[in-house]
């Protein structure tokens, strides 16, 4: 307890000393702080004074820097102004501008661009004292240069818008279709027959003819730009339209394209018109596209000749479209309208002939050329849509479609005319030998040609029919034509006095119809039912011929009840020798008459001819053999037996082999 009491005073004293020391430290720290505050306040005062002293210097420095920048800008602006004045002074030599661009077009156009730059500069900087004078002078020079550029455009277009010669167009053909160089005057159709040209049509490369040299086109584009920018759109439009339109028309004239009216077409002989129509089809494909198919009527006998004529100036309109697009590329110009107008006369010339044919008097022989014309119009329509694109060319496209519809309408009406003409054909031509009538072969060939146009006919029928009707329409039309022919043949058969020849005539003609159908594409359209039905008609007429022609002579060989026992005793047989002699004489006379007459008749089909002879032999020879065997002994023992039994069965069979050969009297064998 005493120790604890003694320790307390010592602890308190120590704490007191420490507190005193802490107060002294705090007082010294406060003094230092007050000193630092005083010093810092002195620095702030000095800095404020320094800043106030430097402010006028900073203002003067900034002003000097701004003045320097303004001087630089002014110098640059002055340089620009001086350069424009310098350009204006250098271009004030009016003689150079008035001289025109003919000698150096590119430099001239560059000078014009510089003048336009001067105009733009001074138009936006009109506060210069000399701006107005410079603008007036430069604008005056630009007006004069525009006239010179227009004249240069006219001169270039005239120089390079010559009609293209047909011979030059051979360069556009594939090598396989070009005439040989060794004989330039040779018929191109006689070249290269080693390969059929139609085989390479799809892969052949045809080049568009060069109507204007490629090096000239960029210059023309620059000139067109200048003219349009100068406000001379109408002049540019008229120059281009007139020169190129005239060149196109001249090119077509060199190929023989001519404008014919309905009256001109009506006056032409068919052969001449057919040739004109053939050429028209060539020209249409020449002007727009390429040859795809040859019609059966074609006046050219050689396919390659046809292709050469067709492709000599192929794609003329496409070539015109190409250069029109190139010359006015990037130019604010209605090039579609310009192209439509420059090609208008040429297209009208081509289409007007087709229109004249469509409106001319219908006749059966025109059907195939109408189909060819319709086909080429339908075939080329997609290309026409491309070449004559745009609203400005809508009349061209509509005119083309309109012609296709008129051709289709005329072709369909011609179908009806042909059917009626076949049924009502009143020609007095009689085939005395009973062979195939010219009308039959004409109609069958006509129908065969129709089937060469199956795809075209389906397109044509679609112009007027819808749905599945188009598939059966060709069959319906063909059946009507065949029925009309059959009706007419029935009428013609009645002109024969000999009923046997009537049936032979019908048999020959209907058999010709059946055989032709079986050997052509018509069998797929008319069908097996039609073929079988008409084969039965052929057989019916053959049976009728056999019945009518041979009934009488067979009756001669048939004696009711005669010789039933086979006895040679006249009394027991009930047949007199005189009757037998008369029957043999009657047979000889009838057979000779039949041979004389029917060996002049004709069954042109060998298989049918042999079949008919066999059918006759099958009824005649057994009857004759039986008659000779049964009654020949009645006359052989008398006087002049050969007078009665003139022909052995073998001789009769041999003579039957001469029937239906069309022999003349002097050729007949006995």
Give dist(CA 634, CA 641) in Å, integer.
9
Which pLDDT band holds residue 311 (cuts at 50, 70, 90)?
A: very low
Domains 166-176+208-417 and 549-559+574-657 share a fold: yes
Task: Count the Cβ atoms, other than its own, within 10 Å of residue 654.
Answer: 12
Is residue 444 within 8 Å of 513, Cβ to Cβ? yes
- List, for residues 219-235, the tens digit of each pLDDT value: 889 888 888 888 888 88
The structural domains of the chain, with segments of one domain joined by +, span 166-176+208-417, 418-538, 549-559+574-657
In degrees and rounded to multiples of 5, residue 209 shows phi and psi of -60, 145
Tokens of 208: 């568009």
CA distances (Å), 363 to each of 176, 354, 355, 366, 592, in order?
Answer: 39, 16, 16, 6, 47
In degrees and rounded to multiples of 5, residue 521 shows phi and psi of -70, -10
Give dist(CA 439, CA 489) in Å, integer.
9
Q: Which residue from 91, 95, 100 is spatially nearest to 118, judged by alpha carbons?
A: 91
Tokens of 610: 């042999």
CA distances (Å), 205 to each of 33, 201, 208, 283, 464, in order?
Answer: 104, 8, 10, 19, 37
Q: Could you write out the DSSP letters of every residue in 316-340?
A: HHHHHHHHHHHHTTT-SS-HHHHHH
Asked if residue 404 has pLDDT above 60, the reply is yes
Which pLDDT band holds residue 55 (cuts at 50, 70, 90)?
A: confident
In degrees and rounded to multiples of 5, residue 349 shows phi and psi of -60, -45
- List, for residues 482-537, the tens digit of each pLDDT value: 999 999 999 999 999 999 999 999 999 999 999 999 988 888 888 899 999 999 99
- Reply yes or no on domain 166-176+208-417 having CATH 3.40.50.720: no
- Reply yes or no on domain 549-559+574-657 having CATH 1.20.1280.170: yes
Q: Which residue from 252, 469, 445, 468 is spatially nearest to 364, judged by alpha carbons?
A: 445
Q: Which residue from 459, 479, 471 is spatially nearest to 527, judged by alpha carbons?
A: 479
Question: Mean pLDDT: which of 137-141, 365-369, 469-473 is highest?
Answer: 365-369
In degrees and rounded to multiples of 5, residue 211 shows phi and psi of -85, -30
Mean pLDDT of 152-161: 89
What is the predicted pLDDT for the residue at 298?
A: 33
Q: Looking up tokens 């007027």, which residue turns up?
A: 464
Mean pLDDT of 546-560: 89
CA distances (Å), 495 to each of 425, 489, 492, 546, in order?
Answer: 14, 10, 6, 19
């Amino acid at each position: 307890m005493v120790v604890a009491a003694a320790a307390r005073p010592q602890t308190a004293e120590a704490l007191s000393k420490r507190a005193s020391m802490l107060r002294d430290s705090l007082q010294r720290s406060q003094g230092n702080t007050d000193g630092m505050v005083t010093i810092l306040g002195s620095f702030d005062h000095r800095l404020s004074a320094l800043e106030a002293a430097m402010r006028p210097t900073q203002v003067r420095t900034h002003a000097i820097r701004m003045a320097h920048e303004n001087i630089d800008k002014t110098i640059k602006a002055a340089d620009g102004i001086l350069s424009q004045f310098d350009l204006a002074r250098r271009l004030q030599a009016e003689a150079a501008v008035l001289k025109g661009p003919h000698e150096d077009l590119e430099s001239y156009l560059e000078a014009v661009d510089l003048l336009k730059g001067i105009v733009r500069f001074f138009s936006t900087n009109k506060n210069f004292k000399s701006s107005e004078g410079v603008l007036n002078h430069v604008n005056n020079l630009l007006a004069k240069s525009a006239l010179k550029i227009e004249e240069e455009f006219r001169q270039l277009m005239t120089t390079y818008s010559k009609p293209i010669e047909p011979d030059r167009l051979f360069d556009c053909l594939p090598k396989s279709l070009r005439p040989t160089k060794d004989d330039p005057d040779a018929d191109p159709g006689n070249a290269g027959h080693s390969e059929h040209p139609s085989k390479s049509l799809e892969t052949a490369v045809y080049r568009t003819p060069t109507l204007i040299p490629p090096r000239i086109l960029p210059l023309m584009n620059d000139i067109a730009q200048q003219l349009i920018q100068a406000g001379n759109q109408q002049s540019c439009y008229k120059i281009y339209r007139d020169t190129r339109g005239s060149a196109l028309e001249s090119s077509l004239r060199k190929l023989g394209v001519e404008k014919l009216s309905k009256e001109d077409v009506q006056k032409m002989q068919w052969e001449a018109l057919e040739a004109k129509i053939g050429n028209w089809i060539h020209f249409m494909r020449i002007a727009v596209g390429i040859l795809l198919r040859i019609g059966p009527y074609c006046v050219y006998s050689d396919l390659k000749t046809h292709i050469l004529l067709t492709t000599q100036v192929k794609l003329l309109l496409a070539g015109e479209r190409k250069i029109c697009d190139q010359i006015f590329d990037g130019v604010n110009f209605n090039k579609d309208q310009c192209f439509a107008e420059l090609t208008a006369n040429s297209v009208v010339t081509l289409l007007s002939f087709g229109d004249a044919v469509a409106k001319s008097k219908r006749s059966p022989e025109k059907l195939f050329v109408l189909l060819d014309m319709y086909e080429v119009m339908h075939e080329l329509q997609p290309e026409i849509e491309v070449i004559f694109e745009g609203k400005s060319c809508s009349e061209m496209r509509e005119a083309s479609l309109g012609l296709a519809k008129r051709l289709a309408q005329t072709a369909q009406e011609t179908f009806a005319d042909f059917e009626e003409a076949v049924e009502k054909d009143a020609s007095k031509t009689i085939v005395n030998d009973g062979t195939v009538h010219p009308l039959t072969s004409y109609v069958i060939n006509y129908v065969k040609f129709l089937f060469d146009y199956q795809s075209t006919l389906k397109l044509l029928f679609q112009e007027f029919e819808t749905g599945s009707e188009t598939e059966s329409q060709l069959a319906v039309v063909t059946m009507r034509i065949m029925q009309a022919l059959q009706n007419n043949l029935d009428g013609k058969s009645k002109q024969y006095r000999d009923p046997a020849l009537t049936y032979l005539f019908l048999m020959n003609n209907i058999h010709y119809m059946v055989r032709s159908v079986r050997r052509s594409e018509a069998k797929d359209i008319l069908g097996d039912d039609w073929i079988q039905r008409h084969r039965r008609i052929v057989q019916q007429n053959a049976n009728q011929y056999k019945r009518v022609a041979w009934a009488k002579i067979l009756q001669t060989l048939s004696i009711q009840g005669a010789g039933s026992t086979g006895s040679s005793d006249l009394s027991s047989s009930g047949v007199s020798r005189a009757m037998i002699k008369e029957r043999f004489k009657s047979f000889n006379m009838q057979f000779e008459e039949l041979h004389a007459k029917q060996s002049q008749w004709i069954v042109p089909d060998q298989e049918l001819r042999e079949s008919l002879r066999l059918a006759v032999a099958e009824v005649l020879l057994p009857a004759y053999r039986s008659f000779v065997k049964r009654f020949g002994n009645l006359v052989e023992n008398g006087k002049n037996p050969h007078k009665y039994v003139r022909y052995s069965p073998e001789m009769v069979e041999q003579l039957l082999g001469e029937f239906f050969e069309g022999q003349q009297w002097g050729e007949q064998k006995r």
